[in-house]
Amino acid sequence: MSHDPIKFAYWVPNVSGGLVVSKIEQRTSWDIDYNRKLARIAERSGFEYALTQIRFTAGYGAEFQHESVAFSHALLGATEQLKVIAAILPGPWNPVLAAKQLATIDQLTNGRIAVNIVSGWFKGEFTAIGEHWLEHDERYRRSEEFIRALKGIWTQDNFTFNGDFYRLRDYSLKPKPLQQPHPEIFQGGSSRAARDMAARVSDWYFTNGNTPEGIKAQVDDIRAKAAANGHSVKIGVNAFVIARDTEEEARAVLEEIIAKADPEAVNAFGDAARQAGKASPEGEGNWAKSSFADLVQYNDGFKTNLIGTPQQVAERIVALKAVGVDLVLSGFLHFQEEVAYFGEKVLPLVRELEARKLEEAA
Ligand SMILES: Cc1cc2nc3c(=O)[nH]c(=O)nc-3n(C[C@H](O)[C@H](O)[C@H](O)COP(=O)(O)O)c2cc1C
C-alpha cells in the first residue's frame, strides 16, 4: 500500500441542483458566496483539491451553470492552500487559449491551478452550442492531442505541433506557469479509450464510483499499460459520501434521495449518458451499466458505498487505497456542513487506519 496519505477532493457545486438528481432538501447552493465559504471550510478540513464542472447547457436539472475557469479563479482568490481543478472541454476550448488562461491563473495564485480535461458525453450540448460532435474514440484522440499540446506549450519554447486537430508553429508562451514542470492534468472517463489515454499522457485518471473490485480492475489495467509506456498515473475515484453518527441514519438519507429522485430528469440523463457510455466501441464507458438508482448521483457515486458511520466510511476509504486509489473525489448533500463533519469525524480515522496498516506491513 502507498506510503502517501490518501488525498481528498470535493466537487464544486458551481451548477445548480446539487450533486443528486433528487427533490430531497439540499442545503447546497451554486452561488459564489456559498462556494467561497465552502472552499475555506474544505481547506481547513483537510481537502487538498476542489473540482469545478463545465456545462454549457442544463442536461438534467443543473439549470444554471457557472463557467469553470472563471469560477476556479474566484475560489483560488478566496483560499490559501486549496488547489482548484478547472474542467476544460476540448471543442469549445483550444489548447492555446487553455494554456494561456491557466498559466496566468497559476501565476496569480501562487501555483494552485490544475486542469481536468473532459471529453464530452452529451451530444445535445454540443449541438446547442454549434460544436461538431465527434464519435467516442475520436473525442479521446482529440483530447490526447489537446493534452500533448498543453504540455508542450507549458514546458517548451518555440513549440511546434502537427496534429490532426491542432497545429502550432514555433510558439513560445510567456510567462509559463509557475508550477514545474506544469500544472497537474486530470482527465475524466472510464472507457477503453479513456484508460489508454491516461496510460499515455494524463497525470491523474478520474473515474466514476465503483466497488473496490471494480476499481482494482481499472487500476491494474491502467498501471500495467502506463508502465509499458514509461508513464505513471494516479487514480481518483468518485464517491457520494453520506457519513452520519449511525448507519441507520446514513442509509435512511440514501433511501430518501432515491425515493425523491426526479424520474423524468434521471431518465433523460440516463438515456444520454448510457448512450454516451455504450457509444465507446467496447461498451465499457461510464454509465454503460448504471441502474436508475446509480444514476440519481450523476457519476455513480453511491456505488463506492461511502455511506455509514465515520468508522465504516474510513475503513472503506482505506480499502480503496489498498487497491491503488490515490484520491477520493467526494460529493455531499449539504456541502458546507458535511465537508466540516468529514474533516472532523472521518479524516482522523482514515489517518489512524493508514498509520496502523503501515505499521502492520513494516
Ligand atoms: C470525475 C469526473 C468529472 C467529469 N466532469 C465533467 C464535466 O465537468 N463536464 C463534462 O462535460 N463532462 C465531465 N465528465 C465526463 C467525462 O469527461 C466523459 O465524457 C464521461 O465520463 C464519459 O467517458 P467514457 O465514455 O470514456 O467513460 C466527468 C467525468 C468524471 C469521471
Boundaries of domain holding 213: 7-361
How many C-alpha atoms does 264 have within 13 Å on its Cβ side? 2
Report the pLDDT averaged over residues 328-357: 98
Report the pLDDT averaged over residues 6-18: 97
Whether 336 is in a domain gets the answer yes
| pLDDT category of residue 344 using cuts at 50, 70 and 90 | very high
Q: Is residue 121 within 6 Å of ligand 1 at its C-beta? A: yes
Buried residues in 19-44 as b, exposed as e (16+ CB within 10 A): bbbbebebebbbeeeebeebbbbbbe
Whether 330 is in a domain gets the answer yes
Q: Which atom of ligand 1 is nearest to the CA of 238?
A: 1
| pLDDT category of residue 154 using cuts at 50, 70 and 90 | very high
Report the pLDDT averaged over residues 253-272: 88
| pLDDT category of residue 286 using cuts at 50, 70 and 90 | low
> What pLDDT does residue 274 have?
67
pLDDT tens digits for range 225-259: 999 999 999 999 999 999 999 999 999 999 999 99
Q: Is residue 343 within 6 Å of ligand 1 at its C-beta? A: no
Of 195, 181, 159, nearest to 280 by C-alpha is 195
Of 235, 44, 38, nearest to 52 by C-alpha is 38
Report the pLDDT averaged over residues 328-348: 98
Q: Is residue 329 within 6 Å of ligand 1 at its C-beta? A: yes
Whether 70 is in a domain gets the answer yes
| Most ligand 1 atoms within 8 A of CB, residue of 30, 286, 295 to mutate | 286
> What pLDDT does residue 277 have?
53
Q: Is residue 87 within 6 Å of ligand 1 at its C-beta? A: yes
Q: Which of residues 44 and 21 earns the better pLDDT score?
A: 44
pLDDT tens digits for range 188-228: 888 899 999 999 999 999 999 999 999 999 999 999 999 99
Q: What is the total count of domains within the chain?
A: 1
> What pLDDT does residue 178 have?
98
Whether 173 is in a domain gets the answer yes
Q: What is the mean pLDDT of the chain?
A: 94
> Strands 49-51 and 83-88, how do they pair?
parallel
Cα-to-centroid distance, 15 and ligand 1 (Å): 15
Residue 322, pLDDT above cutoff 70: yes
For the entire predicted model, the pTM comes to 0.96
Whether 2 is in a domain gets the answer no
Dihedral of CA 247/251/252/253: which sign? positive
CA 145 and chain centroid, separation: 20
> What pLDDT does residue 279 have?
55
Q: Which of residues 30 and 294 earns the better pLDDT score?
A: 30
Residue 5, pLDDT above cutoff 60: yes
Looking up cell 474510513, which residue turns up? 314
Report the pLDDT averaged over residues 297-325: 96
> What pLDDT does residue 284 have?
65
Whether 274 is in a domain gets the answer yes
> What pLDDT does residue 263 have?
86
- For ligand 1, atom 29, the nearest C-alpha belongs to 188
Q: Which atom of ligand 1 is nearest to the CA of 284?
A: 27
Residue 278, pLDDT above cutoff 70: no
Cα-to-centroid distance, 281 and ligand 1 (Å): 17
Q: Which atom of ligand 1 is nearest to the CA of 287?
A: 27
Of 251, 202, 235, nearest to 323 by C-alpha is 235
On the 0-12 / 13-18 / 19+ scale of CB atoms within 10 A, 315 is middle
Of 192, 188, 208, nearest to 88 by C-alpha is 188
Rounded CA separation 74/68 (Å): 10
Q: Which atom of ligand 1 is nearest to the CA of 329?
A: 1
Angle subtended by helix axes 32-44 and 68-77, to nearest 10: 60
Cα-to-centroid distance, 190 and ligand 1 (Å): 9
| pLDDT category of residue 283 using cuts at 50, 70 and 90 | low
Q: Is residue 190 within 6 Å of ligand 1 at its C-beta? A: yes
pLDDT tens digits for range 161-198: 999 999 999 999 999 999 999 999 999 888 899 999 99
Whether 279 is in a domain gets the answer yes
In CATH, what number is assigned to the domain containing residue 82?
3.20.20.30
> What pLDDT does residue 267 have?
83
pLDDT tens digits for range 46-88: 999 999 999 999 877 789 999 999 999 999 999 999 999 999 9
Q: Is residue 328 within 6 Å of ligand 1 at its C-beta? A: no
Q: Is residue 91 within 6 Å of ligand 1 at its C-beta? A: no
Q: Is residue 206 within 6 Å of ligand 1 at its C-beta? A: yes
How many C-alpha atoms does 345 have within 13 Å on its Cβ side? 18
Whether 294 is in a domain gets the answer yes
Q: Is residue 119 within 6 Å of ligand 1 at its C-beta? A: yes
Contact indicator for 108, 137 with CB cutoff of 8 Å: no
Cα-to-centroid distance, 247 and ligand 1 (Å): 31
Rounded CA separation 236/215 (Å): 10
Cα-to-centroid distance, 26 and ligand 1 (Å): 23
Q: Is residue 65 within 6 Å of ligand 1 at its C-beta? A: no
SS (H, E, C) the chain: CCCCCCEEEEECCCECCCCECECCCCCCCCCHHHHHHHHHHHHHCCCCEEECCCCCCCCCCCCCECCHHHHHHHHHHCCCCCEEEEEECECCECHHHHHHHHHHHHHHCCCCEEEEECCCCCHHHHHHCCCCCCCHHHHHHHHHHHHHHHHHHHHCCCEEEECCCCEEEEECCCCCCCCCCCCCEEEECCCHHHHHHHHHCCCEEEECCCCHHHHHHHHHHHHHHHHHCCCCCEEEEEEECEECCCHHHHHHHHHHHHHCECHHHHHHHHHHHHHHHHCCCCCCCCCCCCCHHHHCECCCCCCCCCEECHHHHHHHHHHHHHCCCCEEEEECCCHHHHHHHHHHHHHHHHHHHHHHHHHHHC
| pLDDT category of residue 14 using cuts at 50, 70 and 90 | very high
